[in-house]
Amino acid sequence: MNSIVCLKQVPDTEAQLKVKSEGIGTDGVKFIISPYDEYGVEEALVQKEKAGAGEVSILCLGPDRCVEAIRTGLAMGADKAFHIDDPACDGSDAMATAKVLAEQIKKMDDYDLIFCGKQAIDDDQGQVGVALAEHLGLPHASLVTKVEVADGKAKVNRQIVGGEQIVELPLPCVITAQKGLNEPRYASLPGIMKAKKKPLSPVKIADLGIDAATTGAAGSKTKAGNFSSPPARTEAKIIAGESPEEKAAALAKALREEAKVI
């Protein structure tokens, strides 16, 4: 069972980010694998273990600092990695990112499954997985919480509004991972040591035959106009009263006369 996991490095969920008009300040910020991508790495490893054979490849687009996240994926158990590190890709939106990832995947060996996180936790767009499937001409299932592979097909459970949907896709296919799919393993010390010796191949967009003008900020269709912090929260008001009825009446009065929302 050969799988490719598209991985993105993002600021740590506990990091204190500084919002500037031109973007998010990341000086001194710790970076991690986007949590939903970790579910993808884990599921690729699980499917390989169930099949008893195959390889798991990590694919990451981003600057030099992404090597740390890639090595973490390798330490979890992935076999090899490809790192697209090219300044021409800086500022790529979801569509441009998917295009670059697709061109690299077309050059890779035979694969059965491609995993992405349902979304990256920095921009929260959730578009790369489905756009990648479109570029590759492959079937796609998003928000997946269960995967079963047999007889050249993947049967997956995916979240939908108010319930769950079970769909069957022929292999190869693209799957975007949702929380609940699995519990990602920790990188063990032996895994960390082995990861240092696993192949990590650098890739430039010239290697992929991509025109630099069609990627990066210049080649992206979506552009951020401005960034701003949310307004500061006002102090909370405690609604007093001797009984639930008194508190409800006081709350209704405050909403009508002070907040003016009713």
Domain assignment of residue 227, yes or no: no
pLDDT at 102: 96
- Write down the pTM of the prediction: 0.83
Q: What per-residue confidence (pLDDT) applies to 51?
A: 94
Contact 238, 114 (CB under 8 A): no
pLDDT number for residue 15: 73
Does one domain contain both 87 and 169?
Answer: yes
| Co-location of 119 and 185 in the same domain | yes
Q: Tally the domains of the chain.
A: 2
**pLDDT digit string, tens, across residues 77-108:** 999 999 999 999 988 889 999 999 999 999 99
Q: What is the mean pLDDT of each run of 10 residues along the chain (262 residues)?
A: 95 77 73 94 97 95 93 96 93 91 92 95 88 96 96 95 94 96 93 93 92 86 76 82 91 89 83
Asked if residue 147 and residue 85 are part of one domain, the reply reads: yes
Rounded Cα gap, residues 115 and 46, in angstroms: 12
The helix (H) or strand (E) run that includes residue 116 is strand 113-117
d(CA 61, CA 87): 10
Same domain, residue pair 40 and 167: yes
HEC string of 37-89 equals HHHHHHHHHHHHHHHCCCCEEEEEECCCCHHHHHHHHHHHCCCEEEEECCHHH
Same domain, 205 and 108: yes
Tell me, yes or no, whether 208 and 247 share the same domain.
no
Tokens of 164: 């769950």
- CA–CA distances in Å: residue 99 to residues 5, 122, 129, 216, 222: 15, 20, 11, 11, 14
Where in the sequence is the domain holding 254, given as residue range(s)? 232-262
- Using the structure block, give the residue that is written with the tokens 């552009």: 223
pLDDT for residue 101: 96
Give dist(CA 94, CA 221) in Å, integer.
9
